[in-house]
Structures are given as C-alpha cells and as structure tokens.
Amino acid sequence: MKLAIIILSDPKSGEEALGRAFNGLALASEAQSKSDEVNVVFAGAGTRWPAEFTKPTHPANALYNAVRPSITGASCGCSAVFGATKEVAACGLPEIKDHPLPGTPGLASIRRYLAEGWQTLVF
C-alpha cells in the first residue's frame, strides 16, 4: 500500500488538533510496521507541529521520532504563511514546493499523491 498522510491540524487549536495529528502519526507507525510505503506531509497550520513534536517533553515525541523516516517534509508556502519556516528548518525537515503557486515559494502537491494512486488521508 502507498499511504500519504497530510497533517493540517493546528497545534494552537487544542486537544482535538492534537488528537488528529497524533492519529495521523499513529497510522504512519502502523503502516511502517506493515512495510507500506508511507509519506507524512505537514501542510497548512500543521507546519507548526514539528516544532512541538521535537520537544522531548511532548507526549507524542517518541511517536514522532519513530515515524521520522516516513516524514517527507513540510509545505514551504504553508510554513511561510503560518510563520513556521525557521522552526521547520530547525527540525531538519525538507521544504516541499513541488506545486508552484503564484505569490508563494511553492506548496506541497497533494494532487500528486492522488494522481499516483496513493491512499491519501488528511488529519
């Protein structure tokens, strides 16, 4: 299976947002354990999550680190819009900008996953 997990929830939005992001990472972990091809992409306000998940005291830190090999990166344009560019870079995540969009440095293409037949889920 080829699974694309797009995390859009905003860590500033409380427990529900954490639940969404946590479940996205949990699905990535399960898929990794089944040898599925997995790509996790942070987009929108979700580009703020890596800075939170890399904190050793965060409850999802161990899970984040476990799925780190499946994290493709963060949408460049989204991290710029949501003020997370420096934090994404500090976490060592690549900026994804394979969808040129006027007025932005480029976004992560979600359509690409759909066009290539990936099961695509948004959290």
Determine the length of the chain.
123
The CATH number of the structural domain formed by 2-122 is: 3.40.1260.10
Cβ-contact 77, 97 below 8 angstroms: yes
Contact 38, 32 (CB under 8 A): yes
The per-residue pLDDT for 56 is: 97
pLDDT tens string 50-103: 999 999 999 999 999 999 999 999 999 999 999 999 999 999 999 999 999 999
C-beta of residue 3 within 8 angstroms of C-beta of residue 27 = yes
Distance CA 65, CA 25 (A): 10
Please tell me the predicted confidence (pLDDT) of residue 40: 98
The domains of the chain are located at 2-122
Q: Is 45 helix (H, G, I), strand (E, B) or coil?
A: helix
What pLDDT is attached to residue 30? Answer: 98
Mind listing the pLDDT tens digit for each residue in 8-63? 999 999 999 999 999 999 999 999 999 999 999 999 999 999 999 999 999 999 99
CA distance linking residue 96 with residue 123, whole number of Å: 18
